[in-house]
Amino acid sequence: MAKIPESWNVPTPEGLTKEVDHGPLSLGLEKGWMRTPVEIKPGMHCYAALPKRSVALDMPYPRDWSAMDEDWKLPRNWREIVLEGFKDRLDRFRTFKLFMDICVRCGACADKCHYFIGSGDPKNMPVLRAELLRSVYRKHFTTAGKLLGPIAGARDLTLDVLKEWWYYLYQCSECRRCSVFCPYGIDTAEITIIGRELTNLLGLNIDWIAAPIDFCYRTGNHMGIQPHAYVDMIDFFVDEIENYTGVRVEPSFNRKGAEILFITPSGDVFGDPGTYTAMGYLVLFHELGLDVTWSTYASEGGNFGLFTSNEVMKRLNSKMYAEAKRLGVKWILGGECGHMWRVVNQYMGTMNLDIAEGSKMEEPVSPITGTKFENAKSTKMVHITEFTADLIRHNKLKLDPSRNDHLKVTFHDSCNPSRGMGLFEEPRYVIKNVCNHFYDMPASCIREQTYCCGGGSGLNAGEDMELRMRGGLPRANAVKYVHEKNGVNMLACICAIDRAVLPNLMEYFVPECDVTGIHEMVANAMILEGEKEKTVNLRGEPLPGREESE
Amino acid sequence: MNAIASLILSGGAISMLVAIPFLAVWALPYVYGIHLEWLFGIVIPYVAVIIFFVGIVYRVVQWAKCPVPFRIPSTCAQQKSLPWIKYGYAEKLDNPISTAGVVGRMILEVLCFRSLFRNTRMEFGTDIKYKSAKWLWLAAIVFHYSFLIVLIRHLRFFTEPMPFFVPIIEKVDGFFQFFLPVVYQSGPLLGAALTFLLLRRLLDPKMRYISLPADYFPLFLILTIAGTGILMRYVLKADVVSIKELTMGLVSFRPVIPEGISVLFYIHLFLVSVLFAYFPFSKLMHMAGVFLSPTRNLSNNTRIVRHINPWNPTVKLHTYEAYEDDFREKMIGAGLPVEKQAASPADKE
């Protein structure tokens, strides 16, 4: 068993699981949840946004504050601000209004939330997370609630209630698993998204979201990588690829007249094991001779604006179309990322398609196979696994899957491409063609019922490790199952947050299992024109059975 | 509010609601010689029905007036993408791309409770296991369909001649032909399903914790309505002819209060009136709301057709030009193409 870093401040996996109790309340004599005040625990929340993060985006009420403090230094009229914001959103989002009204508390969602499963905290049941807001809605916006108060399930918006909102809104990863099981399709992510918009009216964002959106607005990506550094990073990959394969790839940046603009989360350029996935993209594009350019301005596929407010999401997303238009590309190819694809699939066209007016963009066609991507006719953006699956289907890649024979692979469906898109077969098709050993996890943990990695929606910080391990427990449990049953040693995913979060989760629960992006495995299986004899993979690790003979 | 308080409140409310017509119709004539049958047999039912319809229409209009800025269906199956990737009937229904698919999805959701059918139960130990848990789905289906059949059977009291399907439904409902009068299965089934739903709320600690008085009250109310109905039909044998005279009077807008109707009927009718009047203000509005739920009634076609947000906000953007201004020299240094060349030292002065 690997040693868990002390800085994580978490009990052992056994200890962590043991203290979880999902039904600790007996006899019905307990205090009701409305009268149980929130206890803000360290390790279960993220640090508050630093004031400097709000400058570029003009976010309101920047200040130094901490969730652990008694005084959150709120503006004096915070209550009016929240209630006005609440009312405004009830009038603008049918989802919000409807979801405030129609829940029957059937409890089908209760044990579907990974944070509830891993923590046992009843307020992490999706129904109660929503009731935290509904109770205030009833008190301030319904007649019965105004007249009957707690009898009608209504309660006033007090400082304690606001703190409780904040704590639990930032303990939801907006994964939408509960919405799959809800008989009325009530989507807790929607309630959390709007609840977080309300917290942002008071300057109550967390730094792990506030910093990326600030960086992204100014430098084009969440990591805050400036253009020259971005190019440097990719150049480093180019050298590494040459080292390992003998092939020198030649990516281009901000190049006008390219056919395709490629956009991927900056996490892939910055952090392992995402970097190997980025190298995989480079190898693939080179081998195909694809007329593609990267952009340093639109150097972020992800969008932490989704976790802040719809306005910030729109401001950050606009760069994709603006850059596609400026460079005169025909369409956009998108890398492996989770929430990026929820934004691209369900929000981007609605928010920003008018920016693309007058551009050279057209319905995407694969220049290699001639396939028309009819399902991206309007947004003109194609997912890289759609693109690669099509290539493989048309035999356009020379593949030797035995190069991945040391891997026994399972696939983690990322929440957003699963429940906000339905991207299930494309990645599996690609994996099965580049690996000989693939084992799916049980049906209750994959596809539309997939579990969060534990750190989605901006919660992948370092200070909330306990929250992440608790939230990741159901996913880790399923990986452990296929590890023990099939010897799985590699967890593949198509999400940059997954690639940042799952390695820690595996280290904690299933240390024998590593994490990879799909295009890392694709590139490793590809037989490249002019390659030297392969002895190592893109990580520089020797390939079993092909070690250099000295 | 904990479970005990919620139970006491809802139970107390129901007792009062039973006591009101009982005292008013049964005791008042004895004690004071006042007759209030017209109030409970005519006025209150009319008012309740008006509240029911006006209330529901009002609530639905309020929801419908609210825009749907984003198209956010929960996609519960493979998307339609490359032509060779399977997109069959199951996918069309759980991840629809066309109007027909959406209609199909809604029919399954409304008539078959499709989402609830997915329900699983988690078992937490050293490993987490998931078991299929269809009991909630079954109880919900039995409850709703029994209730529907009971409602249709009641058309007997409000139509003359009866629509053709009422006797058919009665025939099917009394299929087993036992007891006299023949027992309609929908009655006991309704009671059994409601009892299951109530026990589930009380015995599962999670359910007990999330339940509000507003969850117990409708359960008690419908149970009491069903109970009084069953009593009238099988035990105390209400005067059906007089009751039909009253109900036909109501629907023909020539209300009458016939002699000889028992107080039990007035209790039953009053509770039904309460249910009707309570409906638009309660969680029971899920009946109408499910049709408007944006995660279910929209198709997953946002990459094919642009969805319009009526209030799409105008926002401040960080343009490429501003970005290049911020980083121009570094970009040139890294060999990146730029739109404007760096200012020469002379220009900088």
pLDDT, tens digit (0-9, with 9 covering 90-100), for A439-456: 999 999 999 999 999 999
Q: What is the pLDDT of residue A427?
A: 98
Q: Exposed, middle or buried: residue A328 (CB in 10 Å: 0-12, 13-18, 19+)?
A: middle
Could you give phi then psi for residue A365, rounded to 5 degrees? Answer: -130, 135
Interface of B with A in 211-240 (CB under 8 A): 211-215
Q: Does B314 touch chain A (CB under 8 A)?
A: no
Q: What does the pLDDT look like over A307-328, one tens digit per residue?
A: 999 999 999 999 999 999 999 9
Query: Do residues B255 and B335 both lie within one domain?
Result: no
Alpha-carbon separation of residue B221 from A323, B218, B226, B237, B286 (angstroms): 61, 5, 9, 22, 17
Q: For chain A, give every domain's residue range.
A: 60-204, 212-525
Three-class DSSP category at A179: helix
* pLDDT score of A25: 56
* One domain for residues B296 and B331: no
CB pairs under 8 A between A and B: 329
Q: Are residues B232 and B342 in the same domain?
A: no
Question: Splitting chain B (349 residues) into consecutive groups of 10 residues, what average pLDDT does each group show?
Answer: 87 96 90 89 97 98 97 97 96 97 97 96 88 94 97 94 92 84 91 96 91 95 96 90 95 93 95 97 96 96 97 96 96 95 62
Q: Report chain A's C-alpha Rg in angstroms.
A: 24
DSSP A253: B
**Could A22 and B206 be called an inter-chain contact, meaning their C-beta atoms sit closer than 8 Å?**
yes
Same-domain status, B242 and B321: no
User: Do B270 and B333 share a domain, yes or no?
Assistant: no
Residue type, B233: R
Q: Which residue of B has its CA nearest to A418?
A: B75
Sheet of A381-383, strands arranged across: A292-294, A260-263, A331-334, A381-383
Say whether both B151 and B228 belong to one domain. yes
- Burial category of B110 from C-beta neighbours within 10 Å (exposed 0-12, middle 13-18, buried 19 and up): middle
What is the structure's pLDDT at B349? 44
Residues of A in contact with B312 (CB under 8 A): 350-351
Say yes or no: B155 and B199 in one domain.
yes
| B108 and B193 co-located in one domain | yes
- A502 has a pLDDT exceeding 70: yes
- Output the pLDDT for position A549: 55
CATH level 3 topology of A60-204: Fumarate Reductase Iron-sulfur Protein; Chain B, domain 2 (1.10.1060)
On whether both B245 and B338 belong to a single domain, the answer is no
Q: How many separate domains does chain B show?
A: 2
Mean pLDDT of A414-418: 97
Name residues 70-99 of chain B within 8 A of A (Cβ): 70-72, 74-82, 84-86, 91, 94-95
B206 & B322 share domain? no
Looking up residue B73, the CATH number of its domain turns out to be: 1.20.950.20
Distance CA B339, CA B328 (A): 9
**pLDDT averaged over chain A?**
95
**C-beta atoms of A448 and B77 within 8 A:** yes
Query: Chain B: residue nearest A184 by CA?
Result: B290
Smallest Cα distance from B323 to chain A, Å:
7
Instruction: Identify the pLDDT of residue A410.
Output: 98
Residues B331, B280: one domain?
A: no
Question: Could you tell me the residue range of the domain that residue B344 belongs to?
Answer: 316-349
- The predicted-structure confidence for B157-184, as pLDDT tens digits, reads as follows 999 899 999 999 999 998 887 777 888 9
Which comes out higher in pLDDT, residue A545 or B97? B97
ipTM rounded to 2 decimals: 0.94
Based on the domain organization, do B329 and B296 belong to the same domain?
no
